Structure 1
Amino acid sequence: MYLKVKRLLDLCLSSLGIIMLFPFIILLVVCIKIDSKGPVFFKQKRVGINKNTFYIFKFRTMRMETPKDTPTHLLNNADQYITTVGKFLRKTSLDELPQIINIILGQMSIVGPRPALWNQNDLISEREKYNANDVLPGLTGWAQINGRDELPIDKKAKLDGEYVNNMGIVMDAKCFMGTIFSVLKRDGVVEGAKSNARK
């Protein structure tokens, strides 16, 4: 029953978000175009519900010569690839705004495990232990407010499993409100490879 309510909330909130933020979105589009060459939007192959792949949408924050399909926190000297406007977008998580489209299309939910890159086999495999591949991925989630990029793969998958086991209006509200505080404090964001010990 909650999955139907969750889907209705996703549609209502994401549609409302597009309407309210439309002028701001247009401003961001203009800034991205002025700042660097390349498309405004960036799409990337990700893993969705039941391990089906789809393309996630983001505002482009990286230069066109950036290595493909590599998580930013694993890039050496990631700053050299991030555009000026991109630094602001990533710091505020505004680069994720276009995923409202993915939510409306039913490929994502507002809250759920963050969709893994298609080639992040270690994370996908670890999530399988907790049935975390069997729910819609989210714009934000339980792991996002409990460490984000700083989390090792096993810990991230375990937190995703905790979300699946406790999925409901209370858990989703915790994730939603926790995301606001995490973004304001910029918790857990890692830009560039930190050490070989981090997997």
Structure 2
Amino acid sequence: MKFLSFLAQYISNPRSVGAVLPSSSYLADKMIESIDFDNAKYILEYGPGTGVFTKKLLQHRNPKTVIVLFENNIEFYKVLEEKYKDVDNLYIYNESAEKVDWYLKKCGIPYVDYVISGLPFASLPKAVSHRILLKTSKILRKNGKFVTFQYTKAMKTFIEQFFSKVDVSIEIRNVPPAMVLCCSLEENLEGTYAI
């Protein structure tokens, strides 16, 4: 998707798009660096937008790994559907990540190894962010990871309510520079939600 199309989506949906520009390749590399691609069975991505992180996930994944994308913006969803229509073990839903548990049950996925998120939690309604983060903490397997990026430190404290460990790194080669949060719940157990 060209820059002007991305900008148009930002202007018409600033709360859900959250940025004027797509994420950089440098940020994408940092977002996926904690993933053990050889052993990951299930990876989710929230808010893939135009697919900058998705591209990296597909480049590195084991072909048997299932990847599920949740994109609430219909225009971005259409772009992703067209771009990845022939890719095996990739499921794309035009839906909010708030419904992640329902869709995992539908797909028969018992737990998740990694969740990569491009959602702008700082601009989403707090109740929506709360539901997404709570459900995410429940679907991750033991030592699974939730990785997100934000443009402000304000969300770190909020996210720490849901994860016992939050490691922070900065990627300055992004416009604007982004803070990457790699979150885990060390006490979590596989399959904590009912199938």
TM normalised by structure 2 equals: 0.29
Of the two, which has the highest radius of gyration?
1
Larger proportion of helix: 1
Larger proportion of strand: 2
